Amino acid sequence: MDVNQYLQIFIEESKDNLQTLNENLLNLENNPTDIETLNAIFRVAHTLKGMAGTMGFVKMQKLTHTLENVLSEIRAGNLAVDSNIVDILFQSLDGLENYVEEITNTSTEGNEEYAEIISALDQIIKNENNQDSGQVNSVSVANESVVPDKLEGEEGLLELPESQELVKNNAISMGMNVYQIKIELSDSCVLKSARAFVIFTELERMGEIIYCVPSAQDIEDEKFDKAFIIVLITQETEEKIKETILGISEVEKTSIDAFALNNSIVEEKLEQEEEVEQKDTRTAEHTGHQNAKQQLSNKTVRVNIDRLDTLMNLVSELIIVKTQLEGLDVRESEVESNYNDSVEYLERITTSLHDAVMKVRMVPVENVFNRFPRMIRDVSRKLGKDIELVMSGEETELDRTVIDEIGDPLIHLLRNAADHGLETTEERISIGKPKKGTIKLQAYQDGNSVVIEVEDDGKGINVNKIRSKAIDKGTITKEEAATMTENEIIELLFKPSFSTAEKISDLSGRGVGLDVVKSRITALGGHVEVETEFGKGSKFIVRLPLTLAIIQALMIHIADEKYAIPLSNIQNIEDVHKEDIKLIQNQEVIVVRNEIIPIIRLREVLGLPKAEDKEMMTGVIVKKGEKQVGFIVDSLIGQQEIVIKSLGKYLSGIDMIAGATILGNGEVALILDVNSLI
């Protein structure tokens, strides 16, 4: 594996670890005494530090090392988590994210050293040391005093510091194994700290490391000969641990000894033990949960998205060939029978292959949603509002391409809800609303689409204010405003440079945001709707296609040309009698099952030659959210699986056309964009 591959792995692993760190810091802020969360944060910080050191990113390693020092003091009970500490921990996270971003872009960590953040972290420890320096010094001396003796060949188990001894005894009393593991690296090992990091990582997947000799810092600095000792709490057997360690290259040998319960310590520290036992129960449950997650992660593999795109393109070509075969004219009965059987079999295979590839490309929206709790936390502080973000449907899956593009539009909608939608705390209290404003972020699948809703319980949209603002800016005339419906007025919010904000801030009021949201979502083949009730709140509904590659479509004829309508947009097909078409407010409509539905003559909107009305016409009823429209078409061809092809950069901006597809006979058919037609 070359350096670039190692770097790519480092970047991917770091991003995953930083996301985990972000989530756990949010949990820690809400539950400052949760040992399980604190242990998870410490493990991630330790992993990041080791990875940065192994790759030679010294500045990133220094920041993570200082962060780890603070976390160690918190874990030891010498520091209590408060809002100031959490803020500095989040600043450290931001610094680490910036390092990874710089490494991603330039393969270097840049020149920024984040001295202010490191100084703030050091100050936390300095303040704590000034309060209780004697206790801390005694702990550090106890740690160092054990280092030289046990690694010079002396047999027997380590004498653990008191806190680790209590943890060990509680683990044993709960039926877990506590092992002292001595590992000796081979003489040929050059990067001892890197090899030790691999060993630590593997063992942390099997349990929790509570102690090591020499210290973790000395091991990272390679201040050891070739042997070190680890104390591990685990549910695994000695054989499994030994097999794992010896499976790592450049490990010469290992020996494992089991600790027994120290009854005298248990009796002396009974009250403390009961408290630690409660915490350790959560830790044990968390360890089991982590092991389950690890078993699951072992069944997954990282795949470059370019390879998936290549595979998808091959499937697309296969489907085109299948379509061509279906269009061939085969006459002789025996040949026709065999041919039809083969085509049917090919269809089953291509459908199965398509489904399999699509599942590989599908990614949970959780990958996008996870970044929003931190964002809302920061926004609420900046605005001085008390905001709660409630998320649901994170397991809903979308095509990877859609996932990569949907993040920024959702950020705009969430910030808009926080800034424009929710009232200030004082305003909410004065009108009898709960002090805390709520923003709901929900995702769910609806047929061949995924719906993402951003809803707030704020003041709703003032339609009259939008109307007045639009008239003042010259966006619409007074005459136009008088005839526009409420929904049409709300649609003005998506016009470029249109804003109703009274004050300009770095969050809103600059006229950018909602127009970007609409253009991004439209480019993905989706659309956005708004539901609002003045005084009660608003809901932005984003509807997106499950995939952008292969879809089921209804093929139609219009003026001797073939077009495709995505099947996911179609409600039903109706026969339309000429005399059933009525005119209401200059809009042609039909009545279908007691429901008035506007109709659109596709010949006219597409600029094709007009044709005389037949006594009986075909109407394709399509749906955009709650709105239904009937498309009048010349004739139907049938349902077909099609491959969506881009029109290229010169034709990509054409309204009403979402793309094109190649038919079995080589013809090109345009795919209608239902959302822009309605």
Could you tell me the pLDDT band of residue 405, with boundaries at 50, 70 and 90?
confident
Q: 22: which 2 tokens?
A: 């972000």
68 catalytic residue (yes or no): yes
For residue 193, give the nearest of 52, 375, 293 by alpha carbon: 52
The pairing of strands 387-392 and 595-601 is unpaired
CA atoms within 13 Å, Cβ hemisphere of 414: 28
| 641-677 pLDDT per residue, tens | 887 877 766 676 677 888 888 887 778 899 988 877 8
644 or 67: which leads in pLDDT: 67
Could you tell me the pLDDT band of residue 139, with boundaries at 50, 70 and 90?
very low
Q: What is the largest CA-CA distance in the chain?
A: 102
Q: What is the pLDDT of residue 504?
A: 52
Q: What is the pLDDT of residue 146?
A: 38
Q: Which residue has the tokens 């309060």?
A: 131
User: Would residue 648 be called left, alpha or beta, if left means φ above 0 and alpha means ψ between -120 and 50 degrees?
Assistant: left
Task: Return the beta strands (E) in 527-665 as ranges.
Answer: 527-533, 537-545, 550-558, 561-566, 570-577, 582-584, 587-592, 595-601, 616-624, 627-633, 635-643, 657-662
- Choose the catalytic residue: 24, 170, 416, 569: 416
Q: Is the pLDDT of residue 396 over 80?
A: yes
Residues 624 and 566 sit within 8 Å (Cβ to Cβ)? no
Q: What is the pLDDT of residue 335?
A: 59
CA–CA separation, 117 vs 63, rounded Å?
A: 8
Residue 584 β-bridge partners = 587
| 494-511 pLDDT per residue, tens | 887 676 665 555 555 444
Amino acid present at 264: S
Residues 614 and 561 sit within 8 Å (Cβ to Cβ)? no
Could you tell me the pLDDT band of residue 612, with boundaries at 50, 70 and 90?
confident
Q: Is the pLDDT of residue 85 over 50?
A: yes
Q: What is the pLDDT of residue 3?
A: 56
- Choose the catalytic residue: 23, 29, 36, 68: 68
CA–CA separation, 371 vs 379, rounded Å?
A: 13
CA–CA separation, 245 vs 253, rounded Å?
A: 9
| 273-309 pLDDT per residue, tens | 444 444 444 444 444 444 444 433 334 556 666 766 7
Q: Is the pLDDT of residue 24 over 70?
A: yes
Q: In the chain, what percentage of residues exceed pLDDT 70?
A: 81
Q: How far apart are the first and last CA of the chain?
A: 53
Could you tell me the pLDDT band of residue 324, with boundaries at 50, 70 and 90?
low
Q: Tell me the average pLDDT across 108-135.
A: 79
Q: Is the pLDDT of residue 436 over 90?
A: yes
The helix-helix angle for 400-416 and 514-523 (nearest 10°) equals 160
User: Would residue 503 be called left, alpha or beta, if left means φ above 0 and alpha means ψ between -120 and 50 degrees?
Assistant: beta
Q: Tell me the average pLDDT across 137-151.
A: 38
46 catalytic residue (yes or no): yes
Q: Tell me the average pLDDT across 593-601.
A: 90
Least confident segment among 88-92, 348-352, 414-418, 517-521: 348-352
Q: At the topology level of CATH, where does 139-294 sit?
A: Alpha-Beta Plaits (3.30.70)
Residues whose CB is less than 8 angstroms from the CB of residue 403 and which lie 6 or more positions away in sequence, other chains included = 363, 365, 367, 368
Least confident segment among 323-337, 365-379, 402-416: 323-337
| 539-590 pLDDT per residue, tens | 999 988 877 667 789 999 998 889 999 888 888 999 988 888 888 888 899 9
Q: At the topology level of CATH, where does 1-131 sit?
A: Four Helix Bundle (Hemerythrin (Met), subunit A) (1.20.120)
- The CATH number of domain 365-545 is 1.20.5.440: no
Q: Is the pLDDT of residue 473 over 70?
A: yes
Domain-wise residue ranges, the chain: 1-131, 139-294, 305-363, 365-545, 550-677
CA–CA separation, 99 vs 112, rounded Å?
A: 8
Could you tell me the pLDDT band of residue 454, with boundaries at 50, 70 and 90?
very high
Q: Which of 63-67, 148-152, 607-611, 672-676 has the highest mean pLDDT?
A: 63-67
> Which CATH architecture group holds 550-677?
Beta Barrel (2.40)
CA–CA separation, 455 vs 537, rounded Å?
A: 7
Q: 468: which 2 tokens?
A: 């007045």
- Choose the catalytic residue: 24, 36, 46, 354: 46
CA distances from 306 to 101, 356, 362, 400, 644 (A): 21, 17, 14, 11, 18
Could you tell me the pLDDT band of residue 351, with boundaries at 50, 70 and 90?
confident
Q: What is the pLDDT of residue 93?
A: 94
CA–CA separation, 211 vs 161, rounded Å?
A: 9
Q: In the chain, what percentage of residues exceed pLDDT 90?
A: 30
Rg of the chain on CA atoms, in Å? 32
CA atoms within 13 Å, Cβ hemisphere of 186: 10
CA–CA separation, 384 vs 393, rounded Å?
A: 28
Q: Is the pLDDT of residue 228 over 90?
A: yes
Residues 644 and 564 sit within 8 Å (Cβ to Cβ)? no
Q: What secondary structure letter does DSSP report for 418?
A: I
Q: What is the pLDDT of residue 302?
A: 62
CA atoms within 13 Å, Cβ hemisphere of 511: 7
Q: What is the pLDDT of residue 238?
A: 92
Q: What is the pLDDT of residue 154?
A: 44
Q: Is the pLDDT of residue 144 over 80?
A: no
Q: What is the pLDDT of residue 277?
A: 47
Amino acid present at 365: V
Tell me what the pLDDT averaged over the chain comes to: 81
CA distances from 363 to 294, 305, 488, 528 (A): 19, 12, 35, 21
CA–CA separation, 597 vs 630, rounded Å?
A: 7
